[in-house]
Amino acid sequence: MRCQVHGRGIVACWLVLTGTLLAQAQTKKIEIQREVPRRVDGRVSAEFPRASSIIGARVSIQGDVAIGKVEDLVLNQNGTVEYLVVLNEDKYVLVPWAAAKLDPGQRTVMVEIRQEKFREVPTFTRESWPNFSDTQYIERINTYYGVKPGRERRIERREDRRDR
């Protein structure tokens, strides 16, 4: 862009140039925002999976037995995923996030639990969700999958790091 400068024209030219630069910066910002998910080999990075790559994912247990699809995520008060809600035979089952191995590129979740043990995990319906404040219920769920609750798991990891 060329500006011819004549007296008051300096201010007008400056305003036009500034507006143009701001518009270009805003366009670049929007382009950058659209590229947020990191890509590795054409897929979303496993380090930062998007919720959309988890919800709807196929869930399998030991023996590659399909048990359903992820319907929802349960977050703790800090906004961290604590549980996957899996639709299994018209009922819902909680799967602790710590027990899930996610492959966002394939949209699959693998859970290390035997089929016999999985059949014992309590289920619930859309109308009767569990009380996540009930520590006994949460401990029971975590025990089926062999994991510890979020807070205990984080403390244990910190202690492991200190011991090294």
pLDDT tens digits in sequence order for the chain, 164 residues long: 455 545 554 444 444 444 444 445 444 443 433 334 444 454 555 567 788 889 999 999 999 999 999 999 999 999 999 999 999 999 999 999 999 999 988 899 999 999 999 999 999 999 999 999 999 999 999 999 999 765 544 444 444 545 55
**Strands lying side by side in the sheet with 91-96:** 100-103, 108-111, 58-61, 65-75, 81-88, 91-96, 123-124
Tokens of 39: 């890509």
pLDDT the model gives residue 70: 97
Specify the CATH number for the domain of residue 114.
2.30.30.240
Domain range for 19: 1-36
Q: Give yes or no: residues 159 and 93 share one domain.
A: yes
Q: Give yes or no: residues 24 and 66 share one domain.
A: no
pTM > 0.85: yes or no: no
Q: Give yes or no: residues 15 and 57 share one domain.
A: no
User: Under DSSP, is residue 39 helix (H, G, I), strand (E, B) or coil?
Assistant: strand
Q: Give yes or no: residues 103 and 145 share one domain.
A: yes
Phi, psi at residue 160, to the nearest 5°? Answer: -60, -40
Dihedral Cα 137, 142, 122, 76, nearest 10 deg: 70
Identify whether 156 is part of a domain.
yes
Nearest CA to 110 out of 48, 154, 57 is that of 57
Q: How far apart are CA 92 and CA 52, in angstroms?
A: 19
